[in-house]
């Protein structure tokens, strides 16, 4: 179900933006979006405060507090499937999340069973690199000289993304392992890659850290070198797809992984099976990434739980998660560099939305809504201001963001605490 925005604006001028406010003190309830196709700022708040959302949020917290959850480093792509009831979500383009130092304590937290790095692909031939993740495909084009590295998404990819989904997963897992070792605590890291066309989930690596040491390490045949490599040159010398993938996608055997990893794989497979049972056209639908919404979120609870009507359907949101920090003077804040990182990743989606505007069933052709949620409306506005900033001539600094707005893009902001959205508003940059 694609929900397309048809929105009228009732502006209130405020700090360089036009806003339409909604808060928990009440507005006239808006008609249900699944019946009307209309989305306003109030739509998000009402969905979040529905009985279904409250039940799903309560269940998520119950699982988390009982130590049943996994911290999942996943791709922003709308297509990979995961069990939202058991996952603390950290999504970024190609799982390249670069601010792991901010979440170092989370990797060692007693409330998560393990950290899971879950990459994906959608096309594979023996002897060739698995394709289908936009960030990794962009990395391959950069390496071959087809794309030049500048600022924004190409800079992000150049710094944080390897062209191969399994190598990318292992390199990201290595960063988490380093944080675990430095903490002197214990923890587990699983690496999987998912075929988003078939739903197949492949286990490729498992690492166990205790007392600051790596006590167990198992990696799919041929890929251990990438975990051990100390330099980019070593990684590139070892990367030979014709050998690594000569007979298919390498996988750990069921007997070689721990009971904890087996349990996660069972949970993941069961979720995929349920989704495929509900979507007879699963493979066809998953061929194109065409979410109705783009999301920047600072909340660890997956959006499927918090907005079950808006985001409960398969492939609804391309999402970039943004980290928060705490300090004594300001409380919970989002570092400026983390905002810029999120914006760089959003360029990928917005540029594709502009390129494919008016071409049905193409990547991001229906992506005409941006939803930004943080712990306060003021911080959500900061993110929007930075994304849609204008220069002294009134031109958008990020021309691709302005182009997306010009084609009818709508922006909504929210204030969300502990999974509950209390205030929302529509954001519209006004003329300089």
Query: Cβ contacts of residue 331 below 8 Å, gap of 6+?
Result: none
Assign 37 a pLDDT band (cuts: 50, 70, 90).
Answer: low
Contact (Cβ atoms closer than 8 angstroms) between residue 189 and residue 218: no
Cα 299 from Cα 335, distance rounded (Å): 15
Mean pLDDT of 170-180: 95
pLDDT tens digit string along 210-264? Answer: 999 999 999 999 999 999 999 999 999 999 999 999 999 999 998 999 999 999 9
Instruction: Decide if pLDDT at 101 tops 80.
Output: yes
Nearest to 61 by CA among 316, 418, 310, 432: 418
Per-domain residue ranges for the chain?
12-429
Assign 9 a pLDDT band (cuts: 50, 70, 90).
Answer: very low
> Which range, of 116-125, 329-338, 369-378, averages the lowest pLDDT?
329-338
Cα 182 from Cα 190, distance rounded (Å): 18
Mean pLDDT of 202-213: 96
Contact (Cβ atoms closer than 8 angstroms) between residue 407 and residue 1: no
Cα 3 from Cα 52, distance rounded (Å): 19
pLDDT tens digit string along 12-28? Answer: 223 334 444 555 433 33
Nearest to 211 by CA among 174, 183, 179, 177: 183
Q: What does the pLDDT read at residue 346?
A: 98
User: 393, exposed or middle or buried, with CB in 10 Å at 0-12, 13-18, 19+?
Assistant: exposed
**What are the two backbone dihedrals, phi and then psi, of residue 404, each rounded to the nearest 5 degrees?**
-65, -45
> 18-47 burial, b if ≥16 CB within 10 A, otherwise e?
bbbbbbeeebeebeebeeeebbbbbbbbbb
Cα 249 from Cα 19, distance rounded (Å): 50
CA distances from 220 to 205, 346, 366 (A): 6, 32, 38
Cα 163 from Cα 161, distance rounded (Å): 6
Query: What value does the mean pLDDT of the chain take?
Result: 89
Contact (Cβ atoms closer than 8 angstroms) between residue 337 and residue 382: no
Q: Which carries the bigger pLDDT value, residue 77 or residue 431?
A: 77
pLDDT tens digit string along 139-169? Answer: 999 999 999 999 999 999 999 999 999 999 9
pLDDT tens digit string along 372-427? Answer: 999 999 999 999 999 999 999 999 999 999 999 999 999 999 999 999 999 999 99
Mean pLDDT of 270-299: 96
Q: Phi-psi region for residue 70, left (φ > 0), alpha (ψ -120 to 50) or beta?
A: beta
Q: What does the pLDDT read at residue 24?
A: 46
Contact (Cβ atoms closer than 8 angstroms) between residue 425 and residue 22: yes
Q: Which carries the bigger pLDDT value, residue 333 or residue 408?
A: 408
> 130-152 burial, b if ≥16 CB within 10 A, otherwise e?
bbbbbbbbbbbebeeeebeeeeb
Instruction: Decide if pLDDT at 42 tops 60.
Output: yes
Instruction: Decide if pLDDT at 332 tops 90.
Output: no
Q: What does the pLDDT read at residue 23?
A: 55
Q: Which carries the bigger pLDDT value, residue 189 or residue 104?
A: 189
Nearest to 193 by CA among 156, 152, 223, 232: 223
- For residue 352, the SS3 value is helix
Mean pLDDT of 57-79: 96
Pairing of strands 112-121, 187-195: parallel
Q: What does the pLDDT read at residue 19?
A: 46
Instruction: Decide if pLDDT at 360 tops 50.
Output: yes
The side-by-side arrangement of strands in the sheet containing 12-14 is: 12-14, 17-23, 420-429, 410-417, 369-374, 293-297, 317-321
Number of Cβ within 10 Å of residue 431's Cβ equals 6
The percentage of residues in the chain with a pLDDT greater than 90, rounded to a whole number, is 81
Mean pLDDT of 264-281: 96
């Amino acid at each position: 179900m694609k929900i397309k925005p048809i929105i009228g604006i009732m502006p209130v001028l405020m700090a360089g933006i036009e806003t339409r406010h909604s808060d928990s003190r009440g507005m006239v309830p808006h008609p249900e979006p699944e019946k009307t196709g209309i989305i306003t700022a109030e739509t998000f708040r009402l969905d979040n405060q529905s009985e279904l959302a409250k039940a799903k949020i309560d269940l998520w917290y119950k699982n988390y507090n009982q130590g049943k959850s996994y911290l999942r480093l996943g791709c922003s792509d709308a297509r990979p499937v995961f069990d939202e009831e058991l996952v603390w979500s950290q999504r970024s383009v190609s799982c390249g999340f670069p601010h792991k130092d901010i979440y170092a304590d989370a990797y060692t937290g007693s409330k998560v069973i393990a950290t899971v790095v879950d990459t994906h692909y959608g096309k594979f031939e023996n002897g060739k690199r698995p394709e289908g993740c936009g960030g990794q495909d962009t990395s391959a084009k950069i390496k071959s000289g087809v794309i030049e590295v500048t600022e924004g998404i190409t800079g992000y990819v150049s710094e944080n993304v390897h062209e191969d989904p399994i190598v990318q997963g292992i390199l990201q897992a290595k960063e988490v392992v380093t944080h675990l070792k430095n903490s002197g605590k214990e923890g587990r890291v699983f690496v999987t890659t998912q075929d988003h066309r078939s739903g197949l989930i492949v286990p490729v690596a498992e690492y166990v850290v205790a007392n600051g040491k790596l006590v167990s390490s198992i990696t799919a045949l041929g890929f251990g070198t990438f975990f051990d490599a100390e330099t980019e040159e070593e990684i590139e010398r070892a990367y030979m797809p014709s050998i690594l993938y000569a007979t298919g996608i390498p996988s750990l055997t069921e007997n070689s992984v721990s009971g904890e990893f087996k349990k996660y794989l069972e949970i993941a497979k069961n979720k995929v099976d349920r989704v495929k049972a509900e979507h007879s056209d699963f493979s066809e639908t998953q061929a194109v990434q065409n979410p109705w919404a783009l999301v920047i979120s600072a909340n660890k609870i997956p959006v499927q739980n918090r907005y079950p009507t808006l985001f409960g359907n398969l492939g609804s949101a391309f999402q970039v998660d943004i980290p928060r920090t705490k300090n004594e003077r300001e409380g919970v804040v989002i570092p400026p560099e983390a905002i810029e990182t999120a914006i760089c990743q959003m360029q990928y989606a917005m540029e594709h939305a502009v390129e494919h505007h008016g071409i049905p069933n193409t990547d991001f052709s229906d992506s005409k809504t941006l939803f930004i949620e943080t712990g306060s409306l003021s911080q959500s506005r900061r993110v929007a201001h930075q994304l849609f900033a204008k220069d002294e001539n009134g031109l958008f600094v990020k021309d691709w963001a302005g182009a997306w707005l010009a084609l009818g893009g709508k922006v909504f902001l929210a204030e969300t605490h502990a999974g509950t959205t209390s205030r929302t508003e529509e954001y519209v940059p006004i003329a300089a």
